[in-house]
Amino acid sequence: MSHPLALLQTRHSAPSRQLGEPGPDAATLKTLLEAAIRVPDHGKLEPFRLIVLQGEAKQVFGERLATLSLRVNPDMTESKREKDRTRYDFAPLVVVVVARIDATSKVPVIEQQLSAGCVAYNLLLGAEALGFGAQWLTGWAAYQRDATAILGLKDNEQVIGFVHIGSTQIEVPDRERPQLDQVVSTWTP
0.85 exceeded by pTM: yes
Confirm whether 3 is domain-assigned.
no
Residue-number span of the structural domain to which 88 is assigned = 11-170
Domain count along the chain:
1
Amino acid code (one letter) for 16: S
Confirm whether 138 is domain-assigned.
yes
Confirm whether 21 is domain-assigned.
yes
Confirm whether 181 is domain-assigned.
no
Please check whether residue 179 is in contact with residue 124, taking contact to mean a CB–CB distance below 8 angstroms: no
Please check whether residue 9 is in contact with residue 3, taking contact to mean a CB–CB distance below 8 angstroms: yes
Nearest to residue 117, comparing CAs of 41, 15, 30? Answer: 41
Confirm whether 144 is domain-assigned.
yes
Provide the greatest CA pair distance for the chain: 58
CATH of the domain at 71: 3.40.109.10
* pLDDT values of the chain reduced to their tens digit, one per residue, 189 residues: 689 999 999 999 999 999 999 999 999 999 999 999 999 999 999 999 999 999 999 999 999 999 999 998 899 899 988 998 999 999 999 999 999 999 999 999 999 999 999 999 999 999 999 999 999 999 999 999 999 999 999 999 999 999 999 999 999 888 999 999 999 999 999
